[in-house]
């Protein structure tokens, strides 16, 4: 067998050089005479791994010094509960902008702790566009405004950071962090599960403006306290060391490849190629998202005849293109084309789509 082009939405494909380095170091990390996964998180070797990963991530994303970076467990979903506990008074209003499945998940995780309001909801349009900013119902008293930068299921992405006034803007960037340059200073908090664009599963990143950590929040266990995690350098308890290490390798790879500016160019080319393959198919394939809101990272599409879905998936797999089945919420197909997906993979997919259409059209 050989490696396929893997369009999985997350966990997702990793850069092959990262996997090869992890493979080479699996039994012994440098001179440690042990694997990274066996090293104490408090020993000098792992501290070096952890600190280098943070320094590289700060460089990759141009994170200002007045922002703290946390490396945590629980994925993005746990952060969706923790942001309410850490930054809102009990029952305080928080405004949620919904542009797909994950925005609603964020609201549900916070709902036990805050007065979670829907400021805008794209559901009436089938989550095919971003509700116009003018119609958002925001409160000046809200603890924060939350939105989902990229919706992995519905394939809807904000291409600009919305203006929300003085209330801190919180955003789930799980599936589009590092996809292009971003002005972090526009945000109060950014969080992301790493398993899409930052590498491995099992670790999440929180980037938070330091002054917000002075908010009292709500009664909570120390392990749910971001301030405590920061004071403990994200080692309040044993962190997921190997995952942190793999994140570091992936971030370093992105820097070596040219950083987010270069990935923005590659991602624009990849997305354009794939949407052209869909739009140019004369209706054989379709994507219903408004062009200005189309995701560069997750491209859902449907065959004109769902009876062809199984053949499409089977033949694609034979052609070395895997994990193209759409999310069960939407059905159809979905190609996730994160930073680690090479342009050759998207070219191969577009070519396969044309070929499949010729044979089944």
> Do the annotations mark residue 328 as ligand-binding?
no
Out of 176, 197, 234, 243, the residue judged to bind a copy of itself by CB under 8 A: 243
Least Å distance between CB 144 and a copy of itself?
Answer: 16
* Alpha-carbon distance values, 63 to 68, 200, 210, 229 (Å): 9, 21, 12, 18
Q: Which parts of 251-310 interact with a copy of itself (CB under 8 A)? A: none
Out of 96, 113, 275, 302, the residue judged to bind a copy of itself by CB under 8 A: 113
Strands 145-148 and 150-151: unpaired
Q: How many CA atoms lie within 13 A of 5 on its CB side?
A: 22
Part of the chain binding a copy of itself (CB under 8 A), chosen from 12-20, 159-167, 177-185, 271-279: 12-20
CA distance 232 to 70: 10
> Do the annotations mark residue 42 as ligand-binding?
yes
CA distance 209 to 22: 33
Residue 35 lies near a copy of itself (rule: CB under 8 A): yes
The SS3 of residue 118 is strand
The SS3 of residue 117 is strand
Out of 144, 173, 242, 356, the residue judged to bind a copy of itself by CB under 8 A: 242
From 29, 172, 253, 325, active-site residue: 172
Whether 67 and 209 have beta carbons less than 8 Å apart is answered as yes
Please indicate whether residue 196 is annotated as part of the active site.
yes
Residue 239 lies near a copy of itself (rule: CB under 8 A): yes
The SS3 of residue 192 is strand
Residue 4 lies near a copy of itself (rule: CB under 8 A): yes
- Residue number with CB closer to a copy of itself (15 or 168): 15
Residue 231 lies near a copy of itself (rule: CB under 8 A): no
- The β-bridge partners of 208 are 68, 189
Q: Which phi and psi (to 5°) does residue 118 adopt?
A: -90, 105
> Do the annotations mark residue 152 as ligand-binding?
yes
> Which active-site residues does the annotation give?
102, 172, 196
List contacts with a copy of itself (CB under 8 A).
1-4, 6, 8-14, 16, 19-20, 22-23, 26-28, 31, 33-35, 37-41, 43, 73-78, 80-81, 84, 108-113, 193, 195, 200-203, 219-224, 236-243, 246, 320, 322-323
Give the annotated binding-site residues.
42, 76-77, 102, 152, 172, 195, 237-238
């Amino acid at each position: 067998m050989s490696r396929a082009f893997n369009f999985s939405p997350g966990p997702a494909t990793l850069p092959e050089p990262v996997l090869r380095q992890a493979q080479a170091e699996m039994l012994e990390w440098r001179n440690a005479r042990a694997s990274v996964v066996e090293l104490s998180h408090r020993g000098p070797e792992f501290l070096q791994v952890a600190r280098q990963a943070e320094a590289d991530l700060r460089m990759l994303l141009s994170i200002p010094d007045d922002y703290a970076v946390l490396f945590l467990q629980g994925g993005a979903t746990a952060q969706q509960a923790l942001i309410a506990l850490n930054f809102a008074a009990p029952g305080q209003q928080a405004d949620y902008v919904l542009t797909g499945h994950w925005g609603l998940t964020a609201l549900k995780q916070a709902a036990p702790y805050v007065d979670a309001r829907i400021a805008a909801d794209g559901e009436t349009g089938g989550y095919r566009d971003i509700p116009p900013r003018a119609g958002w119902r925001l409160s000046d008293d809200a603890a924060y405004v939350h939105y989902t930068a990229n919706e992995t299921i519905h394939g809807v992405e904000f291409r600009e950071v919305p203006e929300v006034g003085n209330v801190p803007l919180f955003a789930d960037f799980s599936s589009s962090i590092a996809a292009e340059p971003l002005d972090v200073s526009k945000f109060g908090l950014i969080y992301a599960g790493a398993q899409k664009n930052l590498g491995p599963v099992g670790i999440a990143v929180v980037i938070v403006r330091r002054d917000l950590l002075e908010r009292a929040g709500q009664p909570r266990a120390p392990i749910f306290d971001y301030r405590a995690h920061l004071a403990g350098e994200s080692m309040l308890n044993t962190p997921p060391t190997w995952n942190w290490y793999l994140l570091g390798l992936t971030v370093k790879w992105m820097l070596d490849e040219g950083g987010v500016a270069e990935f923005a160019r590659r991602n624009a080319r990849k997305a354009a190629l794939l949407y052209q393959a869909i739009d140019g198919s004369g209706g054989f394939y379709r994507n219903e998202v408004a062009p200005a809101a189309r995701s560069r990272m997750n491209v859902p599409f449907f065959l004109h005849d769902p009876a062809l879905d199984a053949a499409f998936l089977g033949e694609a797999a034979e052609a070395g293109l895997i994990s193209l089945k759409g999310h069960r919420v939407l059905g159809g197909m979905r190609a996730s084309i994160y930073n680690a997906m090479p342009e050759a993979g998207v070219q191969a997919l577009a070519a396969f789509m044309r070929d499949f259409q010729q044979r089944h059209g």
